[in-house]
């Protein structure tokens, strides 16, 4: 299915630390729109440097809730140090309340830090947001009901002031990338959950962001659709130059997608382990059947349990493997989406 598209994706079989892929030889997009986006990004410090895409140093986050009598402080994140290389796919995983979503929102400048520094492409997170370096995908697709799917994808382009023809062309291109080219005229509520989330991904990619932030994007989908979407996402990631930070609570998903899995523990949220995923870069349905894949799933699971401070940690679902098996068989037969 993924090789139905005409242009051959740029081969990116190198590891995450390969030279930045966000260069002019990325032939996925047509010239004029590329020019526009280059213009749009003219405020940036030229082409991306070889430095990290995201650099977090000593990040702290304390939430203050003012009650009737007193102000209670909840420490959501403590001493977060993390460096994400350009072109890398990173997953943040941890039990509920470990602050993984908060961390993602801090990178995206949707939440402020209480301490420490966040730089994205060498700039403060706020500047990166104003430069439109981000694409965001949430657990809910958050499509606008009153707009067609095509117009939803055009929304960020409208905000940047791109001309009507250019944004229509760009949106069609993005819809083709997520294989929704026949659904541009539909309204979001006429699509299935998986299709809505693909439209949300198309919208997030419309501005050709350097960094894609995904907060449990497939968490609301059924297992079959989720596995299919994982493959789709890897295909899209291969064809764009985007760095991805991906929040999930699914161990198999994190292992399957990532270059590195960042394991977090709750109260306060800390990074306990970072598990490098040394699976071959080209991943497909068979990856999920490799021995190494299962070893890595186990490794992440044990890291999670260690972080919980004992056995019986909340995220360990004994049945997950079996469910995955069944889902994989059905997905291979082409159902879903």
Partner 1 sequence: MTGRSVGRQALTVVLFLVAVLVIWEGVKLLGGDPWRFQDASGQEIVYQPPFEWEVAGDRALPHVWTIWNALAAPVQRQQTESLGAFLVGAALYTGREAVLGFIAGAVLGVILAALFVHSKLAERAFVPYVVASQTIPILALAPLIAFAFGNGVVGIVIVATYLTFFPVTIAALRGLSASDPRAMELMRACAASKWAIFWKLRFPSSLPYLFSALKIAATASIVGAIVGEGNPGGSQFGLGRSILNFNEQYGSGPEKLWAAILAASLLGIVFFLAVRLVEHVVLRGRPKADVG
In the complex, the residues that contact partner 1 under the rule CB under 8 A are 108, 110, 129-132, 134-136, 138, 140, 142, 144-146, 148, 155-156, 158-160, 187, 189, 207, 213
Q: Is 12 helix (H, G, I), strand (E, B) or coil?
A: coil
CB nearer partner 1, residue 247 or residue 296: 247
Give me the helices (H) in 71-124, please: 100-107
Beta-carbon contacts of residue 92 (< 8 Å; ≥ 6 apart): 100, 103, 104, 245, 246, 247, 248, 262, 264
Whole-number Cα distances in Å, 158 to 132, 154, 168, 202, 206: 13, 6, 10, 15, 11
> Considering the complex, what minimum distance in angstroms separates the CB of residue 16 from partner 1?
24
> Considering the complex, what minimum distance in angstroms separates the CB of residue 41 from partner 1?
12
CB nearer partner 1, residue 134 or residue 256: 134
4's tokens = 């139905």
The answer to whether 55 and 68 are in contact (CB under 8 A) is: no
Cis peptide before 48 (omega within 30 of 0): no
Give me the helices (H) in 16-92, please: 31-40
> Considering the complex, what minimum distance in angstroms separates the CB of residue 136 from partner 1?
4
> Considering the complex, what minimum distance in angstroms separates the CB of residue 161 from partner 1?
9
> Considering the complex, what minimum distance in angstroms separates the CB of residue 119 from partner 1?
17
CB nearer partner 1, residue 218 or residue 293: 218
> Considering the complex, what minimum distance in angstroms separates the CB of residue 162 from partner 1?
12
Q: What are the start-end ranges of the E strands in the chain?
A: 54-66, 71-84, 89-93, 115-120, 123-124, 134-137, 211-215, 243-248, 260-265, 270-276
CB nearer partner 1, residue 142 or residue 326: 142
CB nearer partner 1, residue 95 or residue 156: 156
Q: Is 229 helix (H, G, I), strand (E, B) or coil?
A: helix
CB nearer partner 1, residue 145 or residue 333: 145
């Amino acid at each position: 299915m993924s090789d139905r598209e005409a242009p051959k994706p740029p081969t990116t079989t190198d590891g995450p630390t390969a030279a930045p892929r966000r260069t002019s030889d990325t032939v996925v997009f047509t010239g004029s729109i590329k020019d526009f986006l280059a213009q749009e990004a003219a405020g940036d410090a030229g082409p991306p440097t070889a430095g990290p895409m995201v650099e977090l140093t000593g990040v702290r986050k304390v939430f203050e809730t003012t009650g009737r009598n007193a102000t209670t402080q909840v420490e959501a994140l403590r001493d977060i140090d993390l460096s994400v290389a350009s072109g890398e796919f990173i997953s943040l995983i941890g039990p509920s309340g470990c602050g993984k979503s908060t961390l993602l929102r801090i990178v995206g400048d949707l939440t402020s830090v209480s301490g420490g520094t966040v730089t994205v492409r060498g700039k403060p997170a706020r500047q990166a947001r104003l430069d439109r370096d981000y694409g965001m995908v949430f657990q809910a697709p958050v499509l606008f009901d009153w707009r067609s799917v095509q117009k939803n994808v055009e929304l960020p382009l409208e905000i940047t002031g791109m001309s009507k023809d250019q944004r229509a062309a760009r949106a069609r291109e993005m819809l083709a990338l997520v294989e929704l080219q026949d659904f541009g005229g539909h309204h979001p509520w006429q699509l299935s959950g998986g299709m809505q989330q693909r439209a949300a991904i198309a919208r997030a990619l419309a501005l050709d962001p350097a960094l894609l932030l995904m907060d449990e994007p497939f968490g609301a989908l059924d297992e079959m659709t989720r596995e299919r979407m994982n493959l789709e996402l890897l295909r899209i990631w291969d064809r764009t130059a985007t760095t991805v930070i991906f929040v999930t609570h699914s161990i198999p998903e994190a292992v399957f997608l990532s270059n590195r899995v960042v394991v977090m523990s709750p109260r306060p949220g800390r990074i306990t382990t970072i598990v490098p995923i040394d699976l071959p870069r080209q991943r497909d349905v068979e990856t999920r059947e490799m021995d190494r894949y299962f070893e890595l799933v186990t490794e992440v699971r044990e890291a999670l349990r260690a972080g919980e401070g004992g056995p019986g940690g909340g995220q360990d679902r004994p049945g997950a493997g079996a469910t995955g098996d069944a889902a994989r068989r059905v997905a291979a037969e082409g159902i879903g989406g």
